[in-house]
Chains A and B, each alone.
Chain A
Amino acid sequence: MPIITQQKSAAVVIDDAKCIAEKGCTVCVDVCPLDILAIDDGRKKAYMKYDECWYCMPCEADCPTGAVKVNIPYLLR
């Protein structure tokens, strides 16, 4: 069967103004136990790439600039 993609809401929100990924920071991506965050190649900012969040919060706690906010995924809210 062909594979299709579907839109999802991202529970983990990154404040681009505070994110310093363009300076080489990858802390949130590094610490995520589920490996769901990534740095956008074009914008050089972190973002939630996969809807697989355990809302455990190392990304938010370890971010040096306070750019990451973990929301409870909508299905659980």
Chain B
Amino acid sequence: MSASDIKTEIVETDLLVIGGGTGGPMAAIKAKEANPGLRVLLMEKANVKRSGAISMGMDGLNNAIVPGYATPEQYVKEITVANDGIVHQKAVMAYAQGSFPMIQYLDRLGVKFEKDGSGEYNMRKVHHMGTYVLPMPEGHNVKKVLYRQLRRLQVSVTNRYMATRLLKSADGRIAGAVGVNTRTSEFLVVKAKAVVLACGAAGRLGLPASGYLFGTYENAANCGDGYAMAYHAGAELANLECYQINPLIKDYNGPSCAYVTGPFGGYTANNKGDRFIECDYWSGQMMLEFWRELQSGNGPVYLKMDHLAEETISEIETILHTNERPSRGRFHAGRGNDYRKRPVEMHISEIGFCSGHSASGVWVDENARTTVPGLYAVGDMASVPHNYMLGAFVNGGIAGADAASYCESVDMAAYDEGYLAAEQERVLAPTRRDDGLTPHEMEFKTRRLVNDYLEPPKVTAKMEIGQRRFAEIREDLGQLCATDPHELHRALEMQSILDCADMAAAASLYRTESRWGFYHLRVDHPETNDDEWFCHTMLFKDEFGRMSHRKREVAPYVVPVEADEMAAYHQLRVKTPVAAE
């Protein structure tokens, strides 16, 4: 089978949005609202009705900035402190200012948030400093609401097309993207003036402790395609060494979920039943304390709820077992876990990239623009830290509105025909072999090596071994074999995963200090070195096709943070009382 045997359809649009989960649909919606005449195409690898991280809904907003509870300035300060100061505050501020209007917008569309008797949002405190959590006990209809709005605004949708590479013009502007159908392997080439990448986290990077390839924390469809596409298009990626690592229910690998149970009185405890962290909000320092406890004689770590009243536990169960990850109840039933009777064992997740919970991603400014003209990135794959679902919506909206006006100011760029032909050959290569290596085994090996060599605590010599082993796997790509379109889809994903593994290693080696608690704990560079590394690290493909790095200054803060405030997230371990003499 050669590229010429496979059908290639070429379509033209103004704005192409890649990824129909959370940020992508909102980018499409806000672009259409800004300019109803704009042609907007949403390309999705699965089906927009049920794709992405919020496929089954969401149980709460983790970063809601609601007047009366917090100001955008307070939030910007909290996120700056939680990320050891390495944030582009203007982008965090753009999110913070858009947060409440987006909640009101979603509310009008029919998304249900918890309200008190007088109709006010029922805010809860989970963060170390401020109050930002808004429960969504009936948050299971988010995708339906989004889908309805996409239809209402006549956004074009193509399901089951996986974008493989971005197309650019000779002058470096975005010109569109190549997609391949996951069921037929037919190509769809989309010519576009602007592209919004909304492909989610790199959630299939580390291998879950269960060994099940798809037993990931993130929706396993979110395998890092967006990071790989941005990298190959020459965009800069920021702070990838700041991994996502989360405290999860052991083996089930879903959130435990301290954000839901915390406000009800549940907490993270050690095997003595004692609290060991002051704050269950997910940060690098919290994960470091969690890991230390796992390693100590006080491990494992548990989510403790057995001290709570029956009606409280029932309410928690209703929230946790009907939203976001409803199979959690089924998992607990199989294990004989009952929140009433004993605490639930927790564990540390595999590594990934995800700005939803950490601070890495394709670099974007306060307008969601990447470093490539006409290319935007939003949601878990963009560099705005601790963004969660609401951040994906807000930044998606920002990208959509900005891209709509960008599209009016530029002509359609012409893509390089030779590049497209080479990309089609790369895509189809695994279909030309009758035998060789399967996508599953190549993915398993890549991800097993990610665990062996890239997980923190990070050791220079180990990460260098990891790089050599990844290079061997890259040579083995010449044997990668796909026997049907579904397997080809997995073969392409496996290549995104390998790209992300290389990026994780290179980024971690570049920053020769420790920062963000457990996320970038380098054993042979144990101290934080603000003199040399109080900066973003940017990873990019240079003009010779090599993986390169540079430092980017942290832009002057729009919300000043005092030195003593900056350390607030460093003191998360519960202080042990001094023994009586």
Binding site for B on A (CB under 8 A): 1-3, 30-35, 49-50, 52-58, 61-62, 70-73, 75-77
Partner of A70, one of B51, B182, B327: B327
**Nearest CB of chain A from residue B566's CB, rounded to whole Å:** 38
Complex interface residues of chain B between 221 and 271 (CB less than 8 A to chain A): 221, 251-253
B47 at interface, CB cutoff 8 A: yes
**Listed residue (A3, A31, A54, A62) with the most chain B CB atoms within 10 angstroms of its CB:** A54
B213 at interface, CB cutoff 8 A: yes
Judging by beta carbons under 8 Å apart, are A70 and B330 in contact? yes
Q: Mark B47-89, 1 if CB is under 8 A from A, else 0.
A: 1011110011000000000000000000000000000000000
Given contacts A1-B437, A76-B210, is CB(A54)–CB(B331) below 8 Å?
A: no
Q: How far is it, in angstroms, between the C-alpha of A16 and the C-alpha of B292 when the chains are bound?
A: 50
Residues of A within 8 A of B212 (CB): 73, 75-76
- Nearest to A31 among chain B residues (CB) is B50
Given contacts A57-B56, A58-B56, is CB(A76)–CB(B215) below 8 Å?
A: yes
Chain B contact-residue range equals: 35 or more
Binding site for A on B (CB under 8 A): 46-47, 49-52, 55-56, 160, 182-183, 210-216, 219-221, 251-253, 325-327, 330-331, 334-335, 435-438, 479, 481, 483, 486, 489-490
- Nearest to B489 among chain A residues (CB) is A35
Residues of A within 8 A of B479 (CB): 1
Judging by beta carbons under 8 Å apart, are A1 and B435 in contact? yes
Residues of B within 8 A of A62 (CB): 50
**Listed residue (B219, B251, B330, B334) with the most chain A CB atoms within 10 angstroms of its CB:** B330
Residues of A within 8 A of B215 (CB): 54, 73, 75-76
**Interface majority SS (helix, strand, loop, mixed), chain A:** loop
Q: How far is it, in angstroms, between the C-alpha of A75 and the C-alpha of B250 when the chains are bound?
A: 12
Judging by beta carbons under 8 Å apart, are A3 and B251 in contact? no
**Nearest CB of chain B from residue A11's CB, rounded to whole Å:** 10
The 16 listed contacts between A and B (C-beta, < 8 Å) are A1-B435, A1-B436, A32-B50, A33-B47, A33-B220, A34-B214, A54-B216, A56-B55, A57-B326, A57-B327, A72-B330, A73-B212, A75-B215, A76-B212, A76-B252, A76-B253
- Nearest to B216 among chain A residues (CB) is A54
Judging by beta carbons under 8 Å apart, are A56 and B56 in contact? yes
Residues of A within 8 A of B334 (CB): 72, 77
